[in-house]
Amino acid sequence: MDQQTTIGPGPEQVAAEAFQALRLPTHLTLDGLIAIVAARRRRRIEIEATDILNGTPVCGLWLSTESREIILHAISDSLIHRQQFILHELGHMILRHDELGVSSQYAGSLFPNLDGEMVSRALARSSFVDDMEAAAETLADLLAAAIRDSALEPKSFEQVFG
């Protein structure tokens, strides 16, 4: 009988614990979440749609520098798709996936015109099937639900009763 052994928590548990640790406000917007993550990372977050990713299996890409976090995402007419691309990359930031990956020296040799450290961080997240990708996507789903649920709740007594 084959028995699968698991080392450490699975992606769903990792995502759930990270979500709980955020202690998000009751009313959450994408912009509000971006501000929360930027404060935690101590860097500004820049987000840009790019047609370079259109037609590729990669919908979003996160690049981290000393002074800023950059999220590039495929162009989409769907605001929900755009939000999910961004939430997935924010999930990587929250889960601190930039601290894992291939060496910057090796990455620099693959892409000599780009900073090796930045490339190694991006390459560490290139496959959706691994646990880091699954955790980031699960966390993105939890964040999307929090944004969606908070949009359904009244924001204040005055808005409900005038």
For residue 13, is it within any domain? no
For residue 60, is it within any domain? yes
pLDDT at residue 137 greater than cutoff 90: yes
Residue 155: closest CA among 36, 32, 45:
32
Q: Given this model, what pLDDT does residue 29 score?
A: 96
Q: Given this model, what pLDDT does residue 122 score?
A: 64
For residue 158, is it within any domain? no
Provide the number of structural domains found in the chain.
Answer: 1
For residue 137, is it within any domain? yes
Beta 44-50 vs 60-64: how paired, if at all? unpaired
- Residues 76-121: pLDDT tens digits? 999 999 999 999 999 999 999 887 655 555 455 545 666 666 666 6
| 120, 59, 140, 15: CA torsion to nearest 10 | -40
Q: Which domain holds residue 124?
A: 24-149
For residue 161, is it within any domain? no
For residue 38, which amino acid is it?
A
pTM for this predicted structure: 0.75
pLDDT at residue 158 greater than cutoff 50: no
For residue 50, is it within any domain? yes
pLDDT at residue 59 greater than cutoff 60: yes
Query: pLDDT class for 123, splitting at 50, 70, 90?
Result: low
How far is it between the farthest Cα atoms of the chain? 65
For residue 19, is it within any domain? no
CA 150 – CA 137 distance, rounded (Å): 20
For residue 9, is it within any domain? no
CA 77 – CA 131 distance, rounded (Å): 29
- Dihedral sign computed on CA atoms, order 95, 101, 107, 111: negative
Q: Given this model, what pLDDT does residue 131 score?
A: 84
Query: pLDDT class for 151, splitting at 50, 70, 90?
Result: confident
pLDDT at residue 73 greater than cutoff 60: yes
